[in-house]
Every structure is written in C-alpha cells, then in structure tokens.
C-alpha cells in the first residue's frame, strides 16, 4: 500500500510539472535564443517524465532488492552495457552524427542526408552487433575486470556473468534508438526522442513487477526488462522518424565520405563525451572492494544527480548542438559565441539551485523515494553521504555538456578528448587517495573533482579558440546564482530536521512537508535573484511575457 501511495503521488507530480513546463516554454518569437529555449524546454518536459518514471523504477527496484549483494550484481553487470551505450550510442550520435548530417543537409540536400542515415543504420548493426556477440561470449572476463572484488564469491560472480549476458544486446537496440534520435534532432524534432527513455523505464517496471516472483533468479527479471526496454525505446521513435521522410534499409556503402568523416570524429568524441561514465565505471571497480552495499549507494546517489543533469544539462546540450552546428557551417561565429553564452548562463541559473537543493534535502529525498522494504535507514544514510559529494559537481557536469557541444559544432573532437584524459587520470588519483579514509563517499568526491577539472580546462581552451565567449559575464552570473542558491539551501536544511526523516512510512505527511518546502525554497531563490539582479531571471520573465502576448493575439484572431 505504501508503494502504491508513493507511485500515485509521483504520477501526480509528473502531470502538474509537465503542464507547467509546457505552458512556460512556448513563445511566438522565433529568433535563435527562443528556438534554443523552446527546444531545451520541450526536451526538459520529456526528460522530466522519463526521469520521474526512472525514480519510480528505482523505488520498485529498491523495494524488491534493497541495497544488498544481489543488487550489487545487477548494477555491476549493467555498468558495462551502460558505459558502451555512452560510447557507441549517445556519444557518437551527438558528437559525430549530428554535425555531419547537418552539414550534408545544408550543402547536399535531403536525399543525400537520408542516404547517410541508411548507411549509418547498417554500420551500427554490423559493428555494434559484433560488439554484443563478443560481450556475451567473454562475459566472465568482463566481470573479472569490472568487479574483481566479486571473485571471492563464486555465487556472486556467476550471477553477475549471467546478468551481463542477458543485458549486453541492449547496446544494439539503444544504439539504433540513438541514431533515430540524432536524425530527428537535426530536423529540430526533440520531444519524441527525449520521451523515448520513458518507454525503457515503463518496460523495466512491468518486467520487475510481473516476472520477479516467477523467475528462478528474481534479479533476472530486471535484466530482461532492460533488454526489452531498449527495443521498445527504438521502436517508439519510428513513427516520427518515418513521418519526417526518413526510411530504414541496408546500405553497405561504408566508403561514403560522410561515414569517413564521422569515423574521424567518432573515437575522440565518444571518449570525451563518455568521461563521466568512464569515471563511474572506475568507481564501480574500486567500490567492489568496499563493504557490501557500496556499489548500490553510489548507483542511487548518481541516479539522483542525473535528474537535474538529464532534465537540464543533457537537454540544453542536445538542443543547442544543431543550432551551433548551423552557425559553424555558415561561418557565423558571433552567433555561435552569443548562443553558447546564453545556453551556459541559463543552464547554470536552473541547475545550481537544483544542486543546492539536493545537498540540503538529500536525506529527506532519499528517505521518501527509497526507504521501504529491504532499503532501510542505514542504506538511506549511506546513499545520502555519496549524494552530498556527487552533488557538488553538478554545475561542472552540465557545463561540460554545453562546452563540449560547442567544440563538436566546430567539428573539433580532439581538444575535448585530450582534456577528458586529464579528467580520468584525476579521477583515478583522487579515488585511490580518498577511498581509504572516506570509503564510497571518497569515490563520489573524486568524481566531482574530476568533473570540475574537466569543465575548467574545456572552458579555458574554448575561450582561447573563439577569442571571446563572454567569460566575465558568465562568471559574474555564476557567482550571483551560487550565492542565491547557497542561501536557499541553508534555509532548506534548517527546515527539514527531525526524527520524521529517519523512519520509514508516513509517505503522505512526508510528501506534503517536502513538497511545500521545495515550493518555498523556489520562491526564496527567485527573491534572492531579484535582490542580486540576476540577468537570467529577467530574460526568462521576458520570454514568459512574450508567450502571454502571443496567446492574447491568438485569442483575438479567433
């Protein structure tokens, strides 16, 4: 009953937030900033729905499997296909496919662009399909590498191998889904591709609830759900894909100049974009040597920071890339600089208060979402400790998305990958130093320090490349937002103290208490920004006024 009440509450939040966000982003003015804001807003709505469904999925997973050795095997097994998803799927589509396809559409027309999509489709089936076969065959060796700490338990090791084999083909389906997403994004279709991951979450929820009690190994129900969800995510986008005059078919012309150009961009681009996933994988390996539950604590805390990162960071990075690519193809570098500055400042304005909120309210949030069934208060405390240190790096992780997208719009993938290597080395060194005294929290802090180094170096070299990127304006805006967010966070932390947040249950009272606190903090953040004269607040207000004027004109014309 408690689980059903919680699900009902979260579905209500989905509906309210989606309606609010949709009403806030539609503007009749179609200049470049409005287009970027609208695209990012649409993606944020879809991603919000998907992320909340993801949390419902995690709540159900925590209810059935808790923070135990069994859950550790699933998250360890899922780490490699998830990492490769970043490498072969989302990384390559964002960094190599979109700029090249945009260039072909601009210079050679729709027919040649459509042919390039078919060739890329065939290329993914051949290459990624082969990787999946290798992954299934060599699963024991892969598990030995990603979770060497499991070698001491034959049962734990064999279960992780089984789950790895079940989930590895997920990589092929999710790569094809990413291809469809990239093709639609180049035609400025964002909502359906961003909503597709929600289908993965729905499929996984159904699989756990329906098959958990029927499977010989209950945890395999989740692995089967991941595999089926990847297929559903691919199929879900096909109607929009065909509607936009694309078609699927096999074309083995791998010598096509577009494929060659993507191949040149692909390897460094995917390594650079996936640096966060690689850092997480390294943390996973090291965490396998720590006490039981450590991998699960890191997973759930990372899931929570992925909420603002996915809704705002990934959305803005994806939405701005086609526009920046068009500027680069046309040689309009003033427009590129201006839109980059706009995207980064608006992104910080939204994500830094989210970061402060997660830090201040981390205990109550984890308690409300996960503390039930086998997920007890000790698990809440362990996850909360990791969330504190992961959250400190949110601003840098989302910033990397926009700065990296700007490099890729210039078809420069070498600079980001060089900096990504520095970030990975920093993560390894910091992890080895901090995991001893701080356990799993040290691994989370190491990830944050690496993200900060990564962003700072990317920002420096982009400024050096473009000469001018409004650095002073961005830094000034960042400091104002940080001050307002910190003040808001301190008040939030003071409001949510007490024994209520150490107990399980009482979901209605906790939901109301936490919800009202979040609303109050949002109001305080706006007041603090008004006091500090944050320019981004005035900008968003002007966009809202434009929308109201547009609605008024439409009602008069009717």
pLDDT at 550 over 70: no
Residue 248 · residue 121 · CB < 8 Å: yes
Query: Looking at residue 439, what is its pLDDT?
Result: 87
pLDDT tens figures, 67-97: 666 777 888 888 777 777 766 555 556 667 7
Q: Biggest alpha carbon distance in the chain?
A: 73
- Model-wide pTM > 0.75: no
pLDDT tens figures, 241-282: 998 888 888 888 888 888 888 777 777 766 665 666 677 777
Query: Looking at residue 314, what is its pLDDT?
Result: 66
Query: Looking at residue 331, what is its pLDDT?
Result: 77
pLDDT at 313 over 80: no
Query: Looking at residue 396, what is its pLDDT?
Result: 92
Name the band, by pLDDT with cuts 50, 70 and 90, for residue 310.
confident
pLDDT tens figures, 433-457: 998 889 888 999 998 999 999 999 9
pLDDT (mean) for 384-403: 90
Name the band, by pLDDT with cuts 50, 70 and 90, for residue 431.
very high
Query: Looking at residue 15, what is its pLDDT?
Result: 43
Name the band, by pLDDT with cuts 50, 70 and 90, for residue 548.
low
Query: Looking at residue 315, what is its pLDDT?
Result: 65
pLDDT (mean) for 319-338: 75
CA gap 526, 120 in Å, rounded: 46
Residue 558 · residue 506 · CB < 8 Å: no
Query: Looking at residue 392, what is its pLDDT?
Result: 94
Query: In the chain, what percentage of residues exceed pLDDT 70?
Result: 82
Q: In whole numbers, what is the pLDDT of the chain averaged over residues?
A: 80
Query: Looking at residue 5, what is its pLDDT?
Result: 40
Query: Looking at residue 541, what is its pLDDT?
Result: 73
The C-alpha angle with vertex 390 and arms to 191 and 85, in degrees rounded to 5, equals 45
The residues spanned by each domain of the chain are 35-273
pLDDT (mean) for 131-143: 90
Name the band, by pLDDT with cuts 50, 70 and 90, for residue 320.
low
pLDDT at 107 over 50: yes
Alpha helices in 212-332 (DSSP H): 220-236, 238-243, 257-273, 275-287, 294-308, 315-330
Residue 361 · residue 494 · CB < 8 Å: no
Phi/psi region, residue 362 (left: phi>0; alpha: psi -120 to 50; beta: rest), is alpha
pLDDT (mean) for 520-536: 89
Residues 6+ apart with CB under 8 A from 295: 72, 75, 76, 284, 287, 288
CA gap 53, 200 in Å, rounded: 9
Distance of CA 219 to the CA centre of its chain: 24
pLDDT (mean) for 401-423: 84
Query: Looking at residue 90, what is its pLDDT?
Result: 59
Query: Looking at residue 87, what is its pLDDT?
Result: 63
pLDDT (mean) for 519-533: 91
Query: Looking at residue 68, what is its pLDDT?
Result: 62
pLDDT (mean) for 540-555: 58
Query: In the chain, what percentage of residues exceed pLDDT 90?
Result: 18
CA gap 390, 280 in Å, rounded: 11
Joined together, the tokens standing for residue 217 give: 């190994």
The better pLDDT of the pair 126, 414 is held by 126
Query: Looking at residue 64, what is its pLDDT?
Result: 78
φ, ψ dihedrals at 527, nearest 5°: -65, -45
Name the band, by pLDDT with cuts 50, 70 and 90, for residue 309.
confident
Query: Looking at residue 14, what is its pLDDT?
Result: 38
pLDDT at 556 over 80: no
Question: Which of 132-136, 401-405, 421-425 has the lowest average pLDDT?
Answer: 401-405
pLDDT tens figures, 3-13: 444 444 443 43
pLDDT at 54 over 50: yes
Query: Looking at residue 19, what is its pLDDT?
Result: 41
Joined together, the tokens standing for residue 11 give: 């579905």
pLDDT at 155 over 60: yes
CA gap 536, 353 in Å, rounded: 13
Query: Looking at residue 86, what is its pLDDT?
Result: 65
Name the band, by pLDDT with cuts 50, 70 and 90, for residue 41.
low
Query: Looking at residue 4, what is its pLDDT?
Result: 40
């Amino acid at each position: 009953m408690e689980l059903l009440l919680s699900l009902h509450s979260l579905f209500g939040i989905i509906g309210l937030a989606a309606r609010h966000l949709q009403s806030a982003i539609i503007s009749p003015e179609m200049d470049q900033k409005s287009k970027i804001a609208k695209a990012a807003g649409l993606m944020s709505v879809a991603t919000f729905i998907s992320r909340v469904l993801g949390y419902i999925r995690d709540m159900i997973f925590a209810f059935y499997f808790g923070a135990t050795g069994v859950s550790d095997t699933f998250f360890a097994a899922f780490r490699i296909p998830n990492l490769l998803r970043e490498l072969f799927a989302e990384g390559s589509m964002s960094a190599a496919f979109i700029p090249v396809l945009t260039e072909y559409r601009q210079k050679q027309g729709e027919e040649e662009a459509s042919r390039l999509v078919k060739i890329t489709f065939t290329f993914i089936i051949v290459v990624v399909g082969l990787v999946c076969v290798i992954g299934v065959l060599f699963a024991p060796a892969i598990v030995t590498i990603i979770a060497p700490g499991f070698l001491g338990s034959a049962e734990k090791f064999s279960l992780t191998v089984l789950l790895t084999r079940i989930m590895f083909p997920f990589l092929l389906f999710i790569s094809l889904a990413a291809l469809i997403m990239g093709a639609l994004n180049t035609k400025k279709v964002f909502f359906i591709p961003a909503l597709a991951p929600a289908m993965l979450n729905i499929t996984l929820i159904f699989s756990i609830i329906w098959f958990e009690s029927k499977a010989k190994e209950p945890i395999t129900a989740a692995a089967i759900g991941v595999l089926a969800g990847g297929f559903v995510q691919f199929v879900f986008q096909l109607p929009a894909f065909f509607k936009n005059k694309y078609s699927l078919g096999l074309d083995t012309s791998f010598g096509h100049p577009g494929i060659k150009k993507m191949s040149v961009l692909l390897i460094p681009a995917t390594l650079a974009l996936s640096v966060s996933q690689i850092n997480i994988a390294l943390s996973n390996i090291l965490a396998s040597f720590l006490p039981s539950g450590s991998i699960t604590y890191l997973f759930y805390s990372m899931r929570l920071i992925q909420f603002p990162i996915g809704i705002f960071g990934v959305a803005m990075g994806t939405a701005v890339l086609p526009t920046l690519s068009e500027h680069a193809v046309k040689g309009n570098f003033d427009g590129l600089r201006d839109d980059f500055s706009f995207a980064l400042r608006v992104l910080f304005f939204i994500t830094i208060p989210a970061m402060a909120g997660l830090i201040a309210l981390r205990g109550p949030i984890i308690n409300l979402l996960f503390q039930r069934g086998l997920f007890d208060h000790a698990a809440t405390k362990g996850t909360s400790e990791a969330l504190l240190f992961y959250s400190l790096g949110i601003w840098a992780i989302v910033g990397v998305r926009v700065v990296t997208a700007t490099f890729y719009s210039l078809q420069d993938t070498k600079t980001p990958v060089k900096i990504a290597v520095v970030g990975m080395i920093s993560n390894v060194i910091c992890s080895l130093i901090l995991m001893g005294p701080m356990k799993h929290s040290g691994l989370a802090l190491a990830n944050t320090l690496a993200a900060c180094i990564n962003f700072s170096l990317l920002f420096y070299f982009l400024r050096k490349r473009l000469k001018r990127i409004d650095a002073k304006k961005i830094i000034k805006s960042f400091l104002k937002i940080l001050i307002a967010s910190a003040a808001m966070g301190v008040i939030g932390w003071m409001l949510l103290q007490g024994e209520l947040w150490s107990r399980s249950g009482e979901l209605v009272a906790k939901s109301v208490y936490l919800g009202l606190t979040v609303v109050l903090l949002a109001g305080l953040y706006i007041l603090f920004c008004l006091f500090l004269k944050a320019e981004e607040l005035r900008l968003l207000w002007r966009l809202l006024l434009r929308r109201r004027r547009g609605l008024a004109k439409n009602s008069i014309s009717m």
